[in-house]
Amino acid sequence: MVPRYSRPAMTAIWSPETRFGIWFEIEAHATQKLGELGVVPESAAKALWDWWATNPTIDVAAIDAIEAVTKHDVIAFLTWVAENVGDEARFMHQGMTSSDVLDTCLAVQLTRAADILLEDLDQLLAVLKRRAYEHKLTPTIGRSHGIHAEPVTFGLKLAEAYAEFSRCKTRLIAARADIATCAISGAVGTFANIDPRVEQHVADKLGLTVEPVSTQVIPRDRHAMFFATLGVIASSIERLAVEVRHLQRTEVLEAEEYFSPGQKGSSAMPHKRNPVLTENLTGLARMVRAAVIPAMENVALWHERDISHSSVERYIGPDATITLDFALARLTGVIDKLLVYPERMQKNLDRMGGLVHSQRVLLALTQAGVSREDSYRLVQRNAMKVWESDGELSLLELLKADDEVTAALSPQQIEEKFDLDYHFKAVDTIFERVFAD
């Protein structure tokens, strides 16, 4: 976790206090049900909840000190609770194994993290939608291979991002469900010393489903899928960030990250206004993706479990969720305040001497009876001249002066092909597809 790439709500999920608090709730809920089932005195859960109602400060240092001796974190925690609650606490954890607590706690933390990320996505989607409609018909050049292709609208670019992050949301909802399970099944998952109804009770209280069959641990394919999904979302962030970086290039400058008063782009060059937020997002995407392979390597635990996954999760649990939360929020801010320059977009559109209309002429020639190969050749030979003139020459004029072309198409027919609006007639259709619902 790097503080500058962290936001408080997500970070709080991963604090020792939060973790111990969830542990307590798991133990207390379990003890409650054990009491109802007559396995332990009903007074035990009462003692636990009564103490909890006093809103006790969780003494992380004290628990850590006990762990330094026992080398076992859950035992350290139970010991500390027992010191505070007293004798009734000995009924806690009856028939359970540490992983019941740890893994169910991780499920709670990851679902809470997913909920924040889903909110982040909703906010991003709202901003994308607003700005997409704002620029629904703002013409801009579409580029393939970094080369001018044909006109699109800036709203379409944002609609694409909206559709992509909508998919990300669907995927995250599925991934959240995948890790939202509770296991209270004892040492090797057989419920040997604990009734499955305890698991159901704890699951219900924590908003989880029961794990159908666990070993000592909740199976790690669930977590692998979760972190893989975060990696995909991060990659979508990278895509939009890279788009902004391209648009802000000096020679393009069709859009720009908001530049705040007092900000300095460079210690040496006072003229700089750099797309540092989206460059940063590009790097953060790499880091969220870095969690994916370790999470997958965690799946093949030995037999009923080994603990190799644990250290990995101590890193990637906080890091991937905190970083992705920060990145989504940062991206939302970038899009929200993005400076968009329609006049510059038009200027860029115009700079290639009308090359962006080459395909329409090609099609018109074909429809006028010229073979596809000849049509291509005719258009290409004029287009290359425009290209080599760096847009000084006009494709329209050259075509009108090309006898082979005019043998098939009249000047007026050619001119009709150089109409920008022609390209935007399906924008409504696309927006309906993307934003319907």
Q: How far is the CB of 327 from a copy of itself (least distance, A)?
A: 9
State in angstroms the smallest separation of the CB of 52 from a copy of itself: 19
Query: Regarding beta strands 139-144 and 147-153, do their DSSP bridges make them parallel or antiparallel, or are they unpaired?
Result: antiparallel
371 is catalytic: no
In b/e form, how buried is each residue of 392-419, taking b as 16+ CB within 10 angstroms? ebbbbebbbebeebeebbeeeebeebbe
Q: Which is nearer to a copy of itself, 55 or 263 (CB)?
A: 263
Query: DSSP 3-state assignment of 138?
Result: coil
Residue 266 falls in the annotated catalytic set: yes
Q: CB-wise, 53 or 404, nearer to a copy of itself?
A: 404
Can you tell me the distance from the alpha carbon of 377 to that of 202, in angstroms, rounded to the nearest whole number? Answer: 72
Closest CA to 248 of 223, 197, 224, 282: 282
Question: CB of residue 410 vs a copy of itself: minimum separation in angstroms?
Answer: 20
Q: Closer CB to a copy of itself, residue 55 or residue 429?
A: 429
Torsion of Cα atoms, 220 then 222 then 228 then 231, to 10°: -100
Considering the complex, state which of residue 35 and residue 189 has its C-beta at the smaller distance from a copy of itself.
189
Catalytic entry in 15, 43, 72, 266: 266
Q: Annotated catalytic residue: which of 144, 145, 271, 303?
A: 145
**311: its two tokens:** 């250290």
- Tell me the C-alpha distance between 223 and 298, whole Å: 9
CB 221, min distance to a copy of itself, A: 5
**Least spacing, CB of residue 341 vs a copy of itself, in Å:** 9
Distance CA 212, CA 203 (A): 12
Nearer residue to a copy of itself within complex by CB, 127 or 227: 227
Question: Tokens at residue 401, please?
Answer: 């002066």
- Where would I find the H helices in 338-371? 342-350, 358-367
Catalytic residues: 145, 266
